[in-house]
Amino acid sequence: MKDLAHGQTVVSNPVGYFHECYKCRIGQEHFGERLIENYHPTGGFSAYIVVHQGQVHAIPVGLSLDQAAFAEPVSVCIHGIEGGYV
């Protein structure tokens, strides 16, 4: 269980995982057999969304909300470069 405080600012992974299949158990959740897309129908622009606490990461002190908004898109780019997809 993550140590998060009520009202703490976080970023979230837009995809949920069941952690049941082989790929999820070895840390390759992005290749999991069952994925949940959480941002329907209005997506991250919703006033409020509910996600599993395993999908959220606390924003480090000193990181602005503008910078934090790029956490997920930049992580996708880095993963693509490091994985040899570019």
Per-residue pLDDT tens for 13-41? Answer: 777 777 788 988 888 877 888 777 665 55
Asked whether residue 72 is assigned to any structural domain, the reply reads yes
Please check whether residue 19 is in contact with residue 25, taking contact to mean a CB–CB distance below 8 angstroms.
Answer: yes
Asked whether residue 52 is assigned to any structural domain, the reply reads yes
Please check whether residue 52 is in contact with residue 16, taking contact to mean a CB–CB distance below 8 angstroms.
Answer: yes
The pLDDT, as a whole number, for residue 45 is: 62
Asked whether residue 1 is assigned to any structural domain, the reply reads no
Asked whether residue 2 is assigned to any structural domain, the reply reads no
Give residue 69's domain range. Answer: 10-82
Asked whether residue 61 is assigned to any structural domain, the reply reads yes
Domain tally, the chain: 1
Dist CA 54 CA 36 (whole Å): 13
Tell me: pLDDT of 83 over 70: yes
Q: Which residue has the higher pLDDT, 86 or 55?
A: 55
Asked whether residue 19 is assigned to any structural domain, the reply reads yes
The pLDDT, as a whole number, for residue 62 is: 92
Dist CA 29 CA 16 (whole Å): 9
The H helix count followed by the E strand count for the chain is: 3, 4
Please check whether residue 58 is in contact with residue 8, taking contact to mean a CB–CB distance below 8 angstroms.
Answer: yes
pLDDT band at 80 (very low <50, low <70, confident <90, very high): confident
